[in-house]
Amino acid sequence: MFEGVLVTTSSGLFASFVGQGGIFRSRDVLRSTYTPKELPHREEQIQELASVLAPALHGETPSNILIYGKTGTGKTAVAKYVGKELEEADAGSTCSVIYLNCEVVDTQYRVLAHLARHFDKDIPMTGWPTDQVYSEFRNALDEKKRVVVIMLDEVDKLVRKGDDVLYNLSRINSDLVQARVSLIGISNDLKFTEFLDPRVKSSLGEDEIIFPPYNAEQIQDILEQRAELAFRPGVLADDVIPLCAAFAAREHGDARRALDLLRIAGEIAERARSQMITEEHVKAARDKIEQDRVEEVIKTLPTQSKLVLYSILLLEEQAARNITTSAVYGMYKQLCPLVEVESLTHRRITDLIAELDMLGILHTVVISKGRYGRTKEISLSVHPPKLKSILLQDYRLKDLANFSVPTQARFGPV
């Protein structure tokens, strides 16, 4: 307790929140990090993965496995579930399961250091030669007879920075005397192995398991199972779960999106002091998720793409009609010197506009001009003030906040 600080639950800023019962029992049940005791509609994949890993219980080396499937098809949940069951079934405590998310642990050094720390080796975050980190991990692993299953979630993110770590891990058994290692790679990208060294590809993909998307009825079953644990009785309107399932089924059977929808709908209802979660809360949650997704995409765009967007934004602010690629390129050429960026070619800007169209940030329509050829008319799909706010969060674009278009350029041909 800090001196002079009085803690109370009966008054103050959070008093109204503490006093109300709330609609949640446990909102964490609706997060992707939660592993349920039962996984509906994934019995076949669970059995298949368990049968591949079963030799570990006899001290034998399981095959390496690649697990594929779109986002939200239960890949990670099944892998964690089977891994937990494997450790619980291991009476001799000779099996270990290590889970790594390669979006976070994304370099060979970090992967090897993380694995070594699992066996109580003190490895610094940086500074050692990679060979030394590998040796520390290998030696720690080989101190006693055991089988270690290493799960590499989003393994394709790791491959983008080179496949050295996969090469080393897929061949580590030849350097071990007592221990054995089995790898499980989990990916949304069915084609990522095309970029692998053929030797890594053959050893990593000894077995493959494909996870099909869920349909709306299956997603509804998953939501009903989780909702029973997540919410207090009687707080869900009858149409909430079917609506969440329907929205998610349109997104290629993404159960994770359905769970996010249900959780965020509950949070919106709770903040509004509502006693029930209704269809309107689900629709508000859908809008919020979509807005957050678009915002995150815009924030992570390269500087050149952001300049293209800012150019279109300025043209819209001028009330320019029929914004074309040529008009965008003209504005873009004015902005580049202001942020000390070398301008790209007209053709490359056309490609960037097409990419932004695919991301849903802007909308293009091809217009025929008869014997003068064809052109694209461009409009923004994001509310302009919101887009401007997001773009100006980039320190490289802050100098554009006060940029005004020269008068002669304002209403030129577009």
DSSP 43-75: HHHHHHHHHHHGGGGGT--PPPEEEEE-TTSSH
Give 381's contacts (C-beta < 8 A, 6+ positions apart): 360, 361, 362, 363
The two most distant CA atoms of the chain are separated, in Å, by: 81
Write out the binding residues for ATP: 73-77, 214, 226
Q: Among the listed ranges 91-95, 345-349, 369-373, 399-403, which one has the minimum average pLDDT value?
A: 369-373
Per-residue pLDDT of 27-50, as tens digits, reads 999 998 898 889 999 999 999 999
Angle between helices 108-118 and 130-141 (to 10 degrees): 30
Distances (CA, A) of 300 to 148, 295, 296, 304, 394: 36, 9, 6, 12, 10
Spacing of C-alpha 183 from chain mean position: 22
Q: What percent of the chain has pLDDT over 70?
A: 90
pLDDT reading at 161 higher than 80: no
With 0.85 as the threshold, say if the pTM is over it: no
Confidence of residue 3 (pLDDT cuts 50, 70, 90): very low
Helical ranges in 142-278 per DSSP H: 155-159, 164-170, 198-204, 216-230, 240-250, 255-271
Q: Among the listed ranges 64-73, 81-90, 185-194, which one has the minimum average pLDDT value?
A: 185-194
By CB atoms closer than 10 A (0-12, 13-18, 19+), residue 287 is: exposed
Q: Please say whether the beta carbons of 282 and 248 come within 8 A.
A: no
Instruction: Pick the more confident residue, 205 or 364.
Output: 364
> Could you give the domains of the chain?
15-24+215-298 (1.10.8.60), 43-211 (3.40.50.300), 301-410 (1.10.10.10)
Long-range contacts of 273-280 (CB under 8 A, 24+ apart): 273/20, 274/23, 275/23, 275/235, 276/235, 276/236, 276/237, 277/23, 277/231, 277/235, 277/236, 277/237, 277/240, 278/237, 278/239, 278/240, 279/237, 279/239, 279/240, 279/243
Nearest to 306 by CA among 318, 295, 298: 298
Task: Please tell me the distance from the alpha carbon of residue 270 to that of residue 291, in angstroms, as a whole number.
Answer: 20
What integer pLDDT is reported at residue 252 of this predicted model?
A: 75
Confidence of residue 167 (pLDDT cuts 50, 70, 90): confident
Q: Please say whether the beta carbons of 174 and 186 come within 8 A.
A: no
pLDDT reading at 212 higher than 80: yes
pLDDT reading at 6 higher than 50: no
Give 257's contacts (C-beta < 8 A, 6+ positions apart): 71, 72, 247, 248, 251, 289
Q: Among the listed ranges 7-21, 120-134, 155-169, 375-389, which one has the minimum average pLDDT value?
A: 7-21
Long-range contacts of 28-31 (CB under 8 A, 24+ apart): 29/226, 29/229, 29/230, 30/226, 30/230, 30/259, 30/260, 30/262, 30/263, 30/266, 31/259, 31/263
Q: Please say whether the beta carbons of 45 and 74 come within 8 A.
A: yes
A 10 A CB-CB count for 114 gives: 16
Give 6's contacts (C-beta < 8 A, 6+ positions apart): none
Q: Please say whether the beta carbons of 230 and 29 come within 8 A.
A: yes
Task: Please tell me the distance from the alpha carbon of residue 22 to that of residue 349, in angstroms, as a whole number.
Answer: 51
Nearest to 295 by CA among 388, 357, 364: 388
Confidence of residue 231 (pLDDT cuts 50, 70, 90): very high
Per-residue pLDDT of 337-396, as tens digits, reads 999 899 999 999 999 998 898 888 888 887 766 666 666 789 888 888 888 989 998 888
Q: Which two structure tokens, joined as six digits, stand for 308?
A: 């293209």
- The mean pLDDT value for 140-145 works out to 91
Instruction: Pick the more confident residue, 293 or 51.
Output: 51
Spacing of C-alpha 327 from chain mean position: 35
pLDDT reading at 54 higher than 80: yes
The label of the residue with tokens 């080179």 reads 162
Nearest to 192 by CA among 216, 162, 169, 165: 162
Name the average pLDDT for the chain: 87
Instruction: Pick the more confident residue, 361 or 192.
Output: 361
Confidence of residue 116 (pLDDT cuts 50, 70, 90): very high
Beta bridge partners of 24: 231
What integer pLDDT is reported at residue 17 of this predicted model?
A: 58
Q: Which two structure tokens, joined as six digits, stand for 4?
A: 């002079």
What integer pLDDT is reported at residue 409 of this predicted model?
A: 47
Write out the binding residues: 73-77, 214, 226
